[in-house]
A and B are shown apart, each in its own frame.
Chain A
Amino acid sequence: GENVEQHPSTLSVQEGDSAVIKCTYSDSASNYFPWYKQELGKRPQLIIDIRSNVGEKKDQRIAVTLNKTAKHFSLHITETQPEDSAVYFCAEYNFNKFYFGSGTKLNVKP
């Protein structure tokens, strides 16, 4: 969506390396930032989220950081595996609506 910018659009890493995807948003009223993973032909699935009162959140190999001052948030995947290959979307929640980034296609090479 036009409220959220996501980079890069494609990302290729070697298995075991880390991957970082970045998003920026414009409205300081946004208070919830989920990340979704979409495998080919499937629906987007929530993988991690962060609320505006927290700076970082981890779940095993996945972490999300939020910088409210700069209005950006990032997804970090460590020790990438081939099954991490998918399209990842960031999103912001603002005034009862979810706005999504344009997506990052992650390719993890074995």
Chain B
Amino acid sequence: DAGITQSPRHKVTETGTPVTLRCHQTENHRYMYWYRQDPGHGLRLIHYSYGVKDTDKGEVSDGYSVSRSKTEDFLLTLESATSSQTSVYFCAIKGDRGEAFFGQGTRLTVV
């Protein structure tokens, strides 16, 4: 599993509340990614990080922010959750051969 853990694994939250998802890695990889997975859309990139305090936007970044204050942790925050952000969220790292390894995923429901 490339030492990647996501928390929480499941969350139900109310519209308008902030939500933070955590991705933790144990193998010191430089690149980390947040994706969301929705039926018919595959995996869409939200934000990614190329080092501590270095982040950039992906395809679907509106309504999301990220932070990376330590190499091992990459946080995704939904500033004010909406029903359109109900999804499965996957964190990934870029491994030593250049491939992506994924965390177990977080199922988020916004009611």
Contact = CB atoms under 8 A, between A and B. Distances in A.
Given A44-B102, A46-B101, A91-B100, A98 B33 contact: yes
Contacts, number: 53
A6 interface: yes
Interface residues on B, range: 20 to 34
Main SS at interface, chain B: strand
Contact of B50 (A6, A96, A99, A101): A96
Contacts of B92: 98
Contacts of B33: 97-98
Contact of B99 (A1, A6, A49, A97): A49
A98 B42 contact: no
Interface string B73-111: 000000000000000001010100011111111000000
Given A1-B59, A100-B35, 7 more contacts: A1-B45, A2-B59, A9-B40, A93-B98, A96-B31, A96-B50, A99-B45
